Amino acid sequence: MSTLTTPGIASRLTDKYGRAITDLRVSVTDRCNYKCIYCRTGNDGAQYSELPLNDYLRIVGVFVTLGIEKVRLTGGEPLLRRDLPSLIHELAKLRTTDGAPLDLALTTNGHLLEEMAQPLKGAGLSRVTVSMDAIDPDIFARITRVPGSFHKVLAGIRAAQRAGLGPVKVNCVLLRGFNDDQIVPFAKFARDEGVIVRFIEFMPLEEDRLWTPEVVIPLNELTERLSTFRPLVPLSANTPSETARRYTFDDGIGEIGIIAPVSQAFCGHCSRVRLTSDGKIRTCLFSQFDHDLYARMQRGATDEEMAAYIRSTIEKKEARHHIGEPDFLKPSRSMVHIGG
Ligand code: SAM
């Protein structure tokens, strides 16, 4: 746990563009039991890296003294760390600079969630987001490259709802020609299962070279296609830095979110910073740089020195991504090795 005393609001993390950084994503492993076509290659053999959970705990503790309020655990597949409930149990004891408990969330592919939902809730997890890219089990298996995976994930979503980890959000990355026939089935799923379905535009973060602008289903096309099912009604944002545009249908049943980083970039109000599973800071998904916080910690840095280093990296946070522009360069890591 951090030894820093709680600093005042004036010392909260803010980048040079005036964005307050309040949201930390922590990848606890870059192993994954799925090989989603838009994320990974079909091959194994990559080198994996993960830290002892206590090291993540110390690092998160330092971030929290700098004004982090939301922590999302991710990966890789975070539920492959079977000791995850003990990390959550310790994180749940941390307090923000305002003295409030952290907003503790998890993003998972749901494959192991059925048995983990209750222990995660018991440990202090607030909410869960499950990635699910098709309602049709065959399409789902083609995307994840794991046969029989759909029913495990569905059972995981329902277990999370029963455990009180709701409202469960279900994230779907849409790819033209692969799963865009699932748009209306997902709208029905949101209404039938009482989950918030969020469609995410495909970003060039994959290990393979699948991304082209044509494969992306942009927000405007998506809202038109959803409206053929039922008229959409916009909802107001929950927070100023919310990435999803929220909608319901004309009868008020079901919630849909659309996250459109490609066609409607939201970098101007980005509040995020990421910690990779090997302890490096990433100031943007599309950054060309890693900032090696863990190396400093291993060399004996104090919490104060780590905090100073975090501040100096946030200073370098990129103004925006350059997807679709001539100067765009793929980031130095793919999504599975950054932590989504
Ligand atoms: N394994 C967990 C899961 O499946 O949710 C957590 C890690 S995964 C990398 C986090 C999120 O990133 C998932 O919702 C996934 O769909 C999304 N993602 C991965 N590659 C993406 C890409 N190229 N474009 C958009 N979203 C992507």
CATH code assigned at 258 = 3.20.20.70
313 found inside a domain: yes
| Helix (H) / strand (E) containing 57 | helix 53-65
Q: Which residue has the higher pLDDT, 52 or 239?
A: 52
Q: Which protein residue has the closest C-alpha to ligand 1 atom 13?
A: 131
Please give the residue range of the domain that contains residue 176.
Answer: 9-338
State the distance from the centre of ligand 1 to the C-alpha of 99, rounded, in angstroms: 32
State the distance from the centre of ligand 1 to the C-alpha of 33, rounded, in angstroms: 13
Q: Are 157 and 109 in contact (CB under 8 A)?
A: no
3 found inside a domain: no
Q: Which residue has the higher pLDDT, 6 or 186?
A: 186
Average pLDDT over residues 37-46: 82
State the distance from the centre of ligand 1 to the C-alpha of 91, rounded, in angstroms: 23
Q: How many CA atoms lie within 13 A of 165 on its CB side?
A: 33
Determine what percent of the chain is predicted with pLDDT higher than 70: 96
Average pLDDT over residues 22-47: 90
| C-alpha separations of 264 from 136, 162, 174, 205, 340 in Å | 28, 35, 15, 17, 19
Residue 8's pLDDT band, with cuts at 50, 70 and 90, is very low
Task: Return the ∠ at Cα 114 (arms to 168 and 102), rounded to 5°.
Answer: 50
The per-residue pLDDT for range 206-223, each reduced to its tens digit, is 988 899 999 999 999 999
Q: How far apart are CA 80 and CA 76, in angstroms?
A: 9
Average pLDDT over residues 160-169: 97
Residue 4's pLDDT band, with cuts at 50, 70 and 90, is low
Q: 21 pLDDT exceeds 60? A: yes
Q: Which protein residue has the closest C-alpha to ligand 1 atom 7?
A: 75
2 found inside a domain: no
Q: How far apart are CA 272 and CA 30, in angstroms?
A: 19
Atom of ligand 1 nearest to the CA of 74: 6
Q: 139 pLDDT exceeds 80? A: yes
Q: Which residue has the higher pLDDT, 310 or 47?
A: 310
Residue type, 287: S
Residue 12: CB atoms within 10 A of its CB come to 16
Q: How far apart are CA 279 and CA 28, in angstroms?
A: 9
Which pLDDT belongs to residue 3?
47
1 found inside a domain: no
Which pLDDT belongs to residue 208?
86
Please give the backbone phi and psi of residue 216, each rounded to the nearest 5 degrees, phi first: -75, 135
Average pLDDT over residues 46-64: 94
143 found inside a domain: yes
Average pLDDT over residues 242-246: 94
State the distance from the centre of ligand 1 to the C-alpha of 335, rounded, in angstroms: 7
> 275: helix, coil or strand?
strand
Q: Which protein residue has the closest C-alpha to ligand 1 atom 15?
A: 131
Which pLDDT belongs to residue 209?
85
Q: Which protein residue has the closest C-alpha to ligand 1 atom 12?
A: 340
Q: Which protein residue has the closest C-alpha to ligand 1 atom 17?
A: 340
4 found inside a domain: no
Residue 2's pLDDT band, with cuts at 50, 70 and 90, is very low
Residue 45's pLDDT band, with cuts at 50, 70 and 90, is low
Q: Which protein residue has the closest C-alpha to ligand 1 atom 5?
A: 108
57 found inside a domain: yes
Which pLDDT belongs to residue 241?
82
Q: 11 pLDDT exceeds 80? A: no
Which pLDDT belongs to residue 99?
97
Average pLDDT over residues 153-168: 97
Residues with CB under 6 A from ligand 1: 32, 38-39, 74-75, 77, 107-109, 131, 171, 173, 200, 202-203, 205-206, 335-336, 340
Average pLDDT over residues 114-118: 98
Q: 9 pLDDT exceeds 50? A: no
| C-alpha separations of 169 from 208, 313, 338 in Å | 27, 31, 21
51 found inside a domain: yes
Q: How far apart are CA 243 and CA 105, in angstroms?
A: 15
Number of domains in the chain: 1
In this structure, the strands spanning 255-259 and 244-249 are antiparallel
Q: Global pTM?
A: 0.95
Of 110, 101, 14, nearest to 311 by C-alpha is 14
Mean pLDDT of the chain: 94
Average pLDDT over residues 226-249: 94
Gyration radius from the chain CA atoms: 19
Which pLDDT belongs to residue 239?
87
Q: How far apart are CA 39 and CA 200, in angstroms?
A: 13
